[in-house]
A and B are shown apart, each in its own frame.
Chain A
């Protein structure tokens, strides 16, 4: 069936993913509260809608499997099957299988691999024990349709369809509905109505003016038929009526028949209708936009920012007041557009977090541990790309925490803790970045073991004195990932280097705190967005550097006297606080001597603070990050470049990397153990 449904199919795939998500959430909810009728209803609706829509696209493998799931759910809904853990587990697996079916069959148009088919057979088997005794699992669409919850005898339905003008443009083909109806039963009569097609002058061949009057003999219920038209409900007039065959005259006044309660299927439909209209309302508030288009827009806005900066620079140089005023208004607006555009890409991290409920449930059962997941800060927003890419590292960290962090219930009780383990996911904003915390209340990391292992692997010189923090962070080192069977530590490092690398790729950092016997906190710090930052321009010699503004705390002038003393010592007395200094002129090996006056920019990242010594302060600048080429990939301390209004290239300083260098230097020279400032909760 090759019809022009590509666009609609994409919508279906996206919606199916969302529905399966809802189904999973509701199943987990149901597991906690087996009597929750709302949850059962939500699961049923999700399965039902997927089946209906899949049928419209002729995705028979999806329809036939979903039908069985729906059948069981229907029995669950009317109370003939009780909720138990085994059932939830089967249904969760069924949900996974439906997702796979949709991915394979709908997205790629392929058929399932033998392994997946085997899985399906096993699931069908498991589901069939919950099905009504008389109904046998069957793969045929014709048969499966008959059992849509409210099985009834064959009814003659009269369906009148009036398609809206935009149906073709929305990627729908009226004929496909006829084709689908044919699979539901026998179409005894079709009248195609073309009388509404306007006169030639006002006729647009791409607008739809078609209508159909269809007589369908089918065992499908009113609701099933109704669902067929879900995709076009907004555009079309659809009337579905049962025809009383004994008195055929009733056809024309069929609408009154709907009111007759004697028709079982009709009452069922009345209950379901509000349910289907619910998600429709929600959809009304959103417009689905292709992510590529959004990226393109943001890219353009980035260019606009650069161009407008160039324009204001020129305006300033030609001493024309009205022109300057005009450009400054434009700059203001451009800034607002930029903020708005960036906001479009921001999505709450909650969806990603919620996905982990299932993971935690599955793994804790697998491990035989009782673990509860607490989620907070789900509404914290961050860039879509970041959200997508952070899922895997988070999953890995969670698995690790459950597998190796949290002890078995017996061990926990022996250690005087509650038998139930706690895992928490938290997200919040902090100085221009977002922090995601994964905390467990397990037995923490074993400092000695890590150190031993690291020395064994040659990651640390045997004489070196490391702070606790440094030791814990060793588990992120690549060489550490092959830790063999070491009790309570085994595998804890496996893949942690990958986690770290993924996070670093997002320009984020990860660090870890641990308290023996009390738990571990892994803290991931990520930038809010990847494309544009507010920069602070500083000059050294003739070159310009950009420091991310979020990290700048203050700027101070460095006079001749201070300069001498601080240069020797490498730090500055900042209101009684020791502030380590980095002379960027030396750091980047600029030639020539420093100017008479120098400035210090105080930067902060996470809990580290340092002063950067620069020649000039040049003010704020909206910076569009252009990544450095591969050639410069190995550069440390530079995260990218940008183009200034004047056309010159400025390098963006990688403050976290710079600070890390300082911290490492400091830790080595002072040899003072660095005590973790944050305690695991």
Chain B
């Protein structure tokens, strides 16, 4: 399972394990997007991510947008080197 979702009090902790790429985005999107608005706070742990590509980047962008729309406070609690590099490449700070 590439994704673990835990709910603690008013926040949802989501940890993505493995690839954040075109191969996994469909599954991740299916699991993540329903969490939007479910809790006031969403913590995203990207530190176990091994690989990230443009599709992964797009997914993060959508999550960010949707979180805003749903009024969920989004925070990234950790990011792996792969994520940092990908984000740096497109000069996008982790949100």
Contact = CB atoms under 8 A, between A and B. Distances in A.
Nearest to B55: A168
Interface in B45-95: 51, 53-55, 57-59, 61-62, 65-66, 86, 89-92
A205 B61 contact: no
Nearest to B51: A2
Interface string A195-207: 0010010010110
Interface in A144-180: 163, 167-169, 173-176, 178-179
Given A175-B57, A194-B65, A197-B62, A205 B29 contact: yes
B22 A168 contact: yes
Q: Is the interface of B mostly helix, strand, loop or mixed?
A: helix
B44 to A, nearest CB: 16
Q: Is the interface of A mostly helix, strand, loop or mixed?
A: loop
A499 B55 CA distance: 52
A37 interface: no
Contact of A178 (B25, B33, B66, B90): B90
Contact of A205 (B51, B59, B91): B59
A535 B91 CA distance: 68
A139 to B, nearest CB: 25
B13 interface: no
B26 interface: yes
Contacts of A209: 58
A101 B19 CA distance: 31
Contacts of A194: 58, 61-62, 65
B51 A197 contact: no
A4 B22 contact: yes
A210 to B, nearest CB: 6
B22 A175 contact: no
Interface stretch (A184-192, A234-242, A269-277, A371-379): A184-192
Contacts of B35: none
Interface in B8-62: 21-23, 25-26, 28-29, 33, 51, 53-55, 57-59, 61-62
A3 interface: yes
Interface residues of B, number: 24
Nearest to B64: A194
B57 A203 contact: no
Contacts of B29: 205
B54 A208 contact: yes
Contacts of A182: 89
B54 A175 contact: yes
Nearest to A174: B54
B16 to A, nearest CB: 13
Contacts of A173: 22, 53-55
Contacts of A206: 22, 25-26, 55
Nearest to B89: A178
Interface of B: 21-23, 25-26, 28-29, 33, 51, 53-55, 57-59, 61-62, 65-66, 86, 89-92
23 contacts: A2-B51, A4-B21, A167-B54, A173-B53, A174-B54, A174-B57, A178-B89, A178-B90, A189-B91, A190-B90, A190-B91, A192-B57, A197-B65, A200-B66, A205-B25, A205-B26, A205-B28, A205-B29, A205-B59, A206-B55, A209-B58, A210-B54, A210-B57
Given A167-B54, A194-B62, 9 more contacts: A168-B54, A173-B54, A175-B54, A189-B91, A190-B91, A192-B92, A205-B26, A205-B58, A209-B58
